[in-house]
Amino acid sequence: MLSKLNVIEQCDKFPYPTKEPDLYTAQLKSFYKFHVEGCPATLGWMLESTVRIIQWPENWKIDHDDKTVILAGTSVTERSARMMEVLQAERTRESFKVLKGWRNELFPVYGPEHELLLSIERAGSPLFGIMIYGVHMNAYIVEDGKIKYWVGQRSQNKQTYPGLLDNSVGGGIATGGAPLDTMVQESVDEAAFPEELLRQSLRPVGAVTYFDVRDERAGGETGLLQPECIYVYDILLPSGVIPKPADDEAEKFHLMDVDVLQTKLSEGKFKTNCGLVIVDFLIRHGIVTPENEKDYIEILARLHRHLEFPTGRSW
Amino acid sequence: MLSKLNVIEQCDKFPYPTKEPDLYTAQLKSFYKFHVEGCPATLGWMLESTVRIIQWPENWKIDHDDKTVILAGTSVTERSARMMEVLQAERTRESFKVLKGWRNELFPVYGPEHELLLSIERAGSPLFGIMIYGVHMNAYIVEDGKIKYWVGQRSQNKQTYPGLLDNSVGGGIATGGAPLDTMVQESVDEAAFPEELLRQSLRPVGAVTYFDVRDERAGGETGLLQPECIYVYDILLPSGVIPKPADDEAEKFHLMDVDVLQTKLSEGKFKTNCGLVIVDFLIRHGIVTPENEKDYIEILARLHRHLEFPTGRSW
């Protein structure tokens, strides 16, 4: 049985400088820092094994003393093309298992002024350890004063976490996508919610941030770093509106009362990062309270981790 | 004009290990660590100047090489009595300005298993740099689909931050007080809300945590460390229920729409930690969004800081 804090720990795995300062510093020293030329901010952390395997073309400066990987380029287009070139070449060489999950989807990398610096193929993002962004939705109804939550069940055909439980809707934010627009589109595509209803009733309610270290369940190489931000939305559905599987994301939807939701959570039935969004939902709706949850403060801090990288915004 | 992030920065002042690792480490090295004998966890950070001024009786071990202050004692009662003895003596000696604000109110200090280790007079807590706890409430109504928020105005006679704007209700949690019970009691005492309504409709919605470094506005010595947790409650008031000043906390209450609320916030009219609770409220209610606030992710992380100390719970 997982506690709520265990649920968070399954996703937020990188050591905390506030808790294990020596371990944190030691791990940090082992990583290569990913930069783009002319920008002082570190954009991601790479494993030494990754840096050693990649056959770096010109325009990349690898410094094994400083442990830096610096991508040269004067524009977003140029940097993105050079990133694509490297990843395509490694995909052809079959050097990394994560690249077998090629998505043809571009993720943004932002600088310290929230400016877009480059785009990177989604499957390649954990090799560079950059921040990635998603949107997740909690769709719920209230019956006799009690909340019931629409849980998605992931298709058995999904590349990642097949068959596990999910939030009502969720997806990644590609380059150029604003959170709200992405959330609306995903909700139409995955659950057939009416767009007009979404535009009226979707409520942005925060974000969860955490620092994952990829394990077997994520597929591909283990130990890759993945700092992540999920923008969170709530929608209180009017009566008669129910989600319907509309693409190959969710196989079906289950309406669960909060006791069942918490049981499934403690049994580890949720995709790990969806569990974080559920815990955040249960706290904001007053179901998990300071009185019934001993780790309340620790959980809140770990749902909103302060990450070491610039965070995104370019819409 | 203060941005929302500036509002947070006025309260959450201690450097971040994730952002300024060298400054963080340097500051840390300058502090004395407060411990109780037999417990490995650091409970607070003390300034060297504080440690040098206090005339330590027996039962306290001061190590100037390790920079530790260790309180001996085998029970909560014994440790609390020894803490009171030190603070009373320094109060009599008039060694610290903060002790002029003696409150006759005991604050709890917790260990790593959430167990109560000792109590400390509220006014003395910043000398030991321990975590302190409060409860704040957002009381609001919805008119024509728009939120209006009941802002308290602090009495001109208050010891701290006289005349500034406040959340609807707020107060510290004394030893033995559970958050919900404390919130109910404060709301009855300060705003004359009916207890039955509170018990039915108060909703715990999270907590904000931050790390303050005391400045002139707080009164007393500057530079003292004050890590803090505020449990946050929302209440949607039924029509006809309004707050009424009931003791010497709030002089009056103002019903503000969210635009006015944000203007007052940007003008620095709020007591600093009340500003954090307002920003958290505006995010949870979808008024501050990823699209209209460039620092959205940074703000959320800093409203939920991961602190270096055990956090409390003993009810």
How far apart are the C-alpha atoms of A262 and B154, rounded to whole Å?
41
Q: Residue B5's pLDDT is what?
A: 97
Cβ–Cβ under 8 Å, residues B180 and B168: no
Same domain, yes or no: B118 and B155: no
Report whether A6 contacts A13 (CB < 8 A).
no
- Closest CA of chain B from A221, distance in Å: 26
Query: Do A120 and A194 sit in the same domain of this protein?
Result: no
pLDDT score recorded for residue B315: 66
pLDDT in tens, A16-43: 999 999 999 999 999 999 999 999 999 9
Kindly list the distances between the CA atom of residue B100 and the CA atoms of A21, B121, B307, in Å, as whole numbers in the listed order: 37, 12, 28
For chain A, what is the domain count? 2
In-domain check, residue B15:
no
What's the CA gap between B2 and B17, in Å, rounded?
24
If you average pLDDT over every residue of chain B, what do you get? 96
pLDDT band, residue B108 (cuts 50/70/90): very high
Q: State whether residue B307 sits within 8 Å of chain A by CB.
A: yes
How far is it between the farthest Cα atoms of chain A?
65
* Complex ipTM: 0.96
Segment B150-164 mean pLDDT:
88
**The domain spanning residue A78 has which CATH number?**
3.30.750.160
pLDDT at B246 over 70: yes
Cα of first residue to Cα of last residue in chain B, in angstroms, is: 42
Same domain, A266 and A227: yes
pLDDT of residue A166: 96
Same domain, B112 and B159: no
Domain presence at residue B298: yes
Token pair in block for residue B265:
């916030």
Of residues B251, B249, B301, the one with CA closest to residue B276: B301
pLDDT score of A315 more than 90: no
Residue from A306, A309, A313, A314 whose CB has the most chain B CBs within 10 Å, to mutate: A306
Chain B residues inside the 8 Å CB shell of A12: none
Digit-coded pLDDT (tens) for A125-180 = 999 999 999 999 999 999 999 999 999 999 888 877 889 999 999 999 999 999 99
**CATH assignment at residue A190:** 3.90.79.10
Where do the DSSP E strands lie in chain B?
32-36, 44-46, 60-63, 68-71, 106-110, 116-121, 132-143, 146-154, 165-166, 169-172, 203-213, 225-236, 250-257
Task: For residue range B248-264, list pLDDT tens digits in order.
Answer: 778 999 999 999 999 99
pLDDT at B152: 96
Measure the CA–CA gap between B303 and B295, rounded to whole angstroms: 12
Chosen domain end from A109, A128, A147:
A128
Do A284 and A178 fall within a single domain? yes
Q: Is the CB of residue A45 less than 8 Å from the CB of residue A225?
A: yes
Given A128, A156, A181, the domain boundary residue is A128
Among B128, B143, B159, which residue terminates a domain?
B128
Alpha carbons B237 and B150: distance in angstroms, whole number: 10
Average predicted confidence (pLDDT) for chain A: 96
Return the structure tokens found at A296: 């309340």
Q: Are residues B100 and B181 in the same domain?
A: no
Mutation target to probe the A interface, by most A beta carbons within 10 A, among B276, B304, B311 is B304
Asked whether residue A314 is domain-assigned, the answer is no
**The tokens 């500057």 sit on which residue?**
B222
Q: Please check whether residue A223 lies inside any domain of the structure.
A: yes
Question: Average pLDDT in the A275-288 region?
Answer: 98
Q: Is residue B69 part of a domain?
A: yes
Nearest CA in chain A to B135: A290
Residue A86 has which token pair?
A: 């490297």
Same domain, A178 and A216: yes
Whole-number Cα distances in Å, B229 to A81, A284, B107, B311: 47, 16, 13, 9
For residue B207, the chain A residues in CB contact (below 8 A) are 290, 296-297, 300
Are residues B42 and B141 located together in one domain of the fold? no
**B147 in the same domain as B236:** yes
How confident is residue A314, by pLDDT bands cut at 50, 70 and 90? low
Going by C-alpha positions, the residue among A207, A185, A202, A211 that lies closest to residue A272 is A211
Chain A, window 278-297: residues with a beta carbon less than 8 angstroms from a chain B beta carbon: 283-286, 289-291, 294, 296-297
Structural domain including B84 reads 21-128
B261 shares a domain with B140:
yes
Residue B104 tokens read as 């006759």
Tens-digit pLDDT profile for residues A81-112? 999 999 999 999 999 999 999 999 999 999 99
Inform me whether the pLDDT recorded for A233 exceeds 70. Answer: yes
CA distances from A68 to A34, A37, A140, B85 (A): 6, 11, 46, 55
The reply to whether B307 falls in a domain is no
pLDDT higher than threshold 90 for residue A247: no
Task: Kindly state whether residues A264 and A283 are assigned to the same domain.
Answer: yes
Locus of tokens 């002790």:
B99
In-domain check, residue A312? no
Outline where chain B has alpha helix (H): 4-9, 21-30, 48-53, 76-93, 125-128, 179-191, 195-201, 258-266, 272-284, 296-302
Indicate if A82 and A227 belong to the same structural domain. Answer: no
Cβ distance of B18 and A231 shorter than 8 Å: no
The per-residue pLDDT for range A292-305, each reduced to its tens digit, is 999 999 999 999 99
Question: Would B58 be classed as within a structural domain?
Answer: yes
